[in-house]
Amino acid sequence: MITMKFGGTSVGSAERIRQVCHLVKNEIPRHPIVVVSAHNSPTLRMTDTLVATAQAARNGIPDTNRVAAAQRGICQDLGVDSAEVGIETLLERFDQLIKGIAMIGELTPRTMDMVMSFGERMSARVVNDVLRREFSVNSEYRSAVSLGLRTDRNFGAARPDPRSYPKVARAISSLNCEVLVTTGFIGATEDGQVTTLGRGGSDYSGTIFGAIVGAEEVQIWTDVSGVMTTDPRIVPEAKSIPELTFMEASELAWYGAKVLHPATMLPAIDADIPVRVKNTADPDHPGTVIRRHLLSESPAIAKSLAVMNGIQLVNITTGRMFGVHGFMARIFEIFSRNLVEIHMIATSEVTVSITTPKGAHVEKAADEIKEFADVTVERGLSLVSVVGEKMKGTPGVAARATTALARAGVNIRMISQGATEINIAMLVQDTDASRAVVELHREFFA
């Protein structure tokens, strides 16, 4: 078996969806499970539109016309009967939900997950219908929720519960079809509340389903030809990387390479399943294979550059850190209890500096820490990272990175290299990030 995950742009238009169906049909001998994202094209960013619709409703304006018109438009382009495949029922439910939000004037993370889930639940039905009608594939649609995929209750960034996997595997094997089409991005709590895995979470769904069925391969189909030396939107000359190790891909994903959701590699590593990243618009391009060990020796010291914008820097200062037992433990406990993720940390005798991603709710943690230390929070920073397993034991990589940034006139606020030495992360101003990446790319990949 294999899983084939198709990102939003891969299902963003009628033409792309037909291309997807063609690719799926070719893989029938390997029994594909197809994991689908919500439609995404320059004119139809479904998940963003769902979010905007819910926010407007909370502010008293319930209007689902944009969502309905966009979804019906794509159905029409493909000859999908939106009533017959259940999309009209979903649109009605969505309309009720939005009216409910407007009435109450409140939008909780739990409700937001319910809102966002409609995108995947509609697009997967479209793909399934086109596979059946136009491509004569004996496919079936089941949502991840109805297959029994359970998660924790961390709405907006839920984590799957592996205890639910055997049940999902049984549900899948009891289906009598050539292809299963399912939803990326979503799951449900034990008591049936819909959750999402975080924005971009369909990649994670791809590897979760791969692990559940013990797939021989997980394919991530997107709008670029694999994982590249950096985001081609920042550096158009970025090149596709033929092979990455699990460790390299994990670091890249964790440090912001948007092509993979940060948690994507976890299930693949646990189940030791290779992940192939490929371009739906250029399927003959080999893309990138991610596996435990490289098959061919690569001379590259640095493999890729990742960048993560909107980072927050929390500086904790106290005159009393020296000799005070448990100071760090106390800080970490507060961050952990407030669900604030820590990316990077640096200490001196009197300060602890910690970076956390955009959106992390640091205020509550900062208030608690203020009871025993001085705290400042700075926003608008970026983490720029150089990743590659060969950096391990190679002297001078950090020097090359910092010299490149000096050349670009970029000030480094903080720098870290883990003891595994496969990543050097540098904290810079958001406004300097692209310039930093361009110069680093020239240094390591020109």
Residues near ligand ASP (CB under 6 A): 7-8, 37-38, 47, 119, 184-185, 199-202
Nearer to ligand ASP, 121 or 343 (CB): 121
What is the secondary structure of 279-343 as a DSSP string?
A: ETT-TTS--EEEESS-SS----S--EEEEEEEEEEEEEE-TT-TT-TTHHHHHHHHHHHTT----
Of Mg ion, ligand ASP, ligand ADP, none, which one does residue 279 interact with (CB within 5 to 8 Å by kind)?
none
Could you say which of 9, 139, 205, 382 contacts ligand ADP (CB under 6 A)? 9
Give the C-alpha separation, 333 to 337, whole Å: 6
Q: Identify the three-state secondary structure at position 419.
A: coil
Contact string 256-295 vs ligand ADP (x = CB under 6 A): -xxx------------------------------------
Choosing from 33, 87, 115, 228, the residue that interacts with ligand ADP (CB under 6 A) is 228
CB of 210 to Mg ion, least distance (A): 16
Distance from the first to the final alpha carbon of the chain: 39
Q: Which does 230 bind (CB under 5 to 8 A by kind): ligand ASP, Mg ion, ligand ADP, none?
A: ligand ADP
The distance of closest approach from Cβ of residue 201 to ligand ASP in the complex, given in angstroms and rounded to an integer, is 5
| Residue 73 CB partners (closer than 8 Å, separation 6+) | 44
- Of 177 and 281, CB closest to ligand ADP: 281
By a kind-dependent CB cut-off of 5 to 8 A, residue 264 interacts, out of ligand ASP, ligand ADP, Mg ion, none, with none
- Strand, coil or helix: what is 139? strand
Which residue number is nearest to ligand ASP in terms of Cβ? Answer: 202
**Which of these segments, 96-104, 200-208, 367-375, 382-390, binds Mg ion (CB under 5 A)?**
200-208
The single residue among 149, 227, 268, 321 that binds ligand ADP, judged by CB under 6 A, is: 227
Q: How far apart are CA 231 and CA 213, in angstroms?
A: 32
Phi-psi region of 411 (alpha: psi -120 to 50; beta: other; left: phi over 0): beta
For residues 72 and 82, the answer to whether their CB atoms sit within 8 Å is yes
Report the alpha-carbon distance of residue 101 to residue 103 in Å, rounded.
5
Count the residues of the shown chain that bind ligand ADP, applying the rule CB under 6 A.
20
Residue with smallest beta-carbon separation from ligand ADP: 7
The smaller minimum CB distance to ligand ADP, of residues 80 and 307, is found at: 307
Burial class (CB in 10 A: 0-12, 13-18, 19+), 446: exposed
Q: What are phi and psi of 18, to 5 degrees?
A: -65, -40
Pairing mode, strands 288-291 and 344-347: unpaired
Torsional class of 235: left (φ above 0), alpha (ψ -120 to 50), beta (otherwise): beta
Among 86, 88, 123, CA closest to 10: 123
Give the x-and-dash track for 19-48 against ligand ADP (CB under 6 A).
------------------x--x--------
37 or 128, CB closer to ligand ASP? 37
Q: What is the DSSP letter of 38?
A: P
Q: Can residue 206 be called a binding residue for Mg ion (CB under 5 A)?
A: no
In the list 222, 264, 355, 356, the residue contacting ligand ADP (rule: CB under 6 A) is: 222
Which stretch, 1-9, 18-26, 350-358, 398-406, contacts ligand ADP (CB under 6 A)? 1-9
DSSP state of 228: B
Residues numbered 62-91 forming contacts with ligand ADP, rule: CB under 6 A? none
Q: By C-beta, is 165 or 185 nearer to ligand ASP?
A: 185
Name the minimum Å distance from CB 96 to ligand ADP.
29
Contact in structure between 250 and 291 (CB atoms under 8 Å): no
Q: How far is CA 130 from CA 95, 221, 321, 333, 369, in A?
A: 25, 18, 63, 51, 55
Cβ closer to ligand ADP: 316 or 440? 440
Closest separation in Å from C-beta 197 to ligand ASP: 8
Footprint of ligand ADP (CB under 6 A): 7-10, 37, 40, 200, 222-224, 227-228, 230-233, 257-259, 304
